[in-house]
Amino acid sequence: MTRALRLGALRVGYEVRAYFRQGDTVFFTFLFPVVLLTIFSVSFSEANFGQTADGDEITAAWFFLPAMLAAGVLLSGLQNLAIDIAVEKSNGTLKRLAGSPLPVTSYFIGKIGQALATGILQAFVLLILAFTVFRVPLPEDPALWGQFAWIFLLGVTTSAILGIALSSVPRSGASATAVVIPIVLVLQFISGIFLRFSDLPEWLQQVAAIFPVKWMAQGMRSVFLPDELVVLEPNETWNLPGIALALGIWFVVGLVLTVLTFRWVRKNQ
């Protein structure tokens, strides 16, 4: 097991280095939420997102920052890994690894580590942009940052393991984006990433609550939005235990699916 962990750590370094050399993934996965936050902040600059208890106006950037942080968690984990692994399965990378004494656990640690490393950096860039350019007030209470840390870590890990599980669905590397992107897009639309969650019909909110993205977005709002806006949430609560439970269940589901479906090499290839 220590060997699996040691090689897993080695894989993280290898994966992260390769990730940042891929111009297209860096742009479409890593910088995408940054680009979107900028677009939303500029295009909705006249729209009304309410006021804080102190009478400060809630800007579009402030309103969309938690949504974009949640989108980043989804993209760095689920979208990135589902496509990445499906492509590696098709282009021979996994076949080569299968012939080496690399434990499969180390491979997963490498992928989850890559998602975490890139996700953390992405969140950092989003927060800096929001704070410096769009003047979004960030939480001062350390407890809120602790809350951010656990929601973020649980979110990325769950998102990553679901990405690994989803990677066995595309039949080829070429079809991977066609399979993964629509799933990710639909989830973002119904989970309060692109559209205000409180504007969605209640039945759709309930459908979204089955999936993990809604909970990631809600968790991020609980950290970064002023507490008064809790009235817009379902049952007027941030429901932190619900967030932990939903993400935890999806983590286990992803883990079980991964163990059941992951193969180095497609059968009868």
In the complex, the residues that contact other proteins under the rule CB under 8 A are 7, 10, 14-15, 17-18, 21-22, 88, 91-93, 95-96, 98-103, 265, 268
Distance CA 226, CA 243 (A): 18
In the complex, what is the shortest distance from the CB of residue 75 to other proteins, in angstroms, rounded to a whole number? 19
CA 82 to the chain's CA centroid = 12
User: Residue 43 or residue 91: which is nearer to other proteins going by CB?
Assistant: 91
Evaluate whether 191 touches 217 at the Cβ level (below 8 Å). Answer: yes
Q: Residue 257's CB: how many other CB atoms inside 10 A? A: 16
In the complex, what is the shortest distance from the CB of residue 2 to other proteins, in angstroms, rounded to a whole number? 14
Distance CA 133, CA 144 (A): 22
Distance CA 32, CA 28 (A): 5
User: Residue 60 or residue 94: which is nearer to other proteins going by CB?
Assistant: 94
User: Residue 21 or residue 241: which is nearer to other proteins going by CB?
Assistant: 21
User: Residue 13 or residue 248: which is nearer to other proteins going by CB?
Assistant: 13
User: Residue 55 or residue 101: which is nearer to other proteins going by CB?
Assistant: 101
In the complex, what is the shortest distance from the CB of residue 24 to other proteins, in angstroms, rounded to a whole number? 11
User: Residue 76 or residue 191: which is nearer to other proteins going by CB?
Assistant: 76
In the complex, what is the shortest distance from the CB of residue 261 to other proteins, in angstroms, rounded to a whole number? 17
In the complex, what is the shortest distance from the CB of residue 10 to other proteins, in angstroms, rounded to a whole number? 6
In the complex, what is the shortest distance from the CB of residue 8 to other proteins, in angstroms, rounded to a whole number? 12
Q: Residue 134's CB: how many other CB atoms inside 10 A? A: 19
For the record, the structure tokens of 258 come out as 């991964």
Q: For residue 27, what are the contacts with CB-CB under 8 A and spacing of at least 6?
A: none
In the complex, what is the shortest distance from the CB of residue 23 to other proteins, in angstroms, rounded to a whole number? 9
Here the contacts of 96-104 (C-beta below 8 Å, separation 24 or greater) are 97/264, 98/264, 98/265, 102/7, 102/11, 103/3, 103/4, 103/7, 104/262, 104/264
Q: In terms of Cα–Cα distance, which of 136, 133, 128, 126 is closest to 52?
A: 136
φ, ψ for residue 57, nearest 5 deg: -75, 140
User: Residue 95 or residue 138: which is nearer to other proteins going by CB?
Assistant: 95
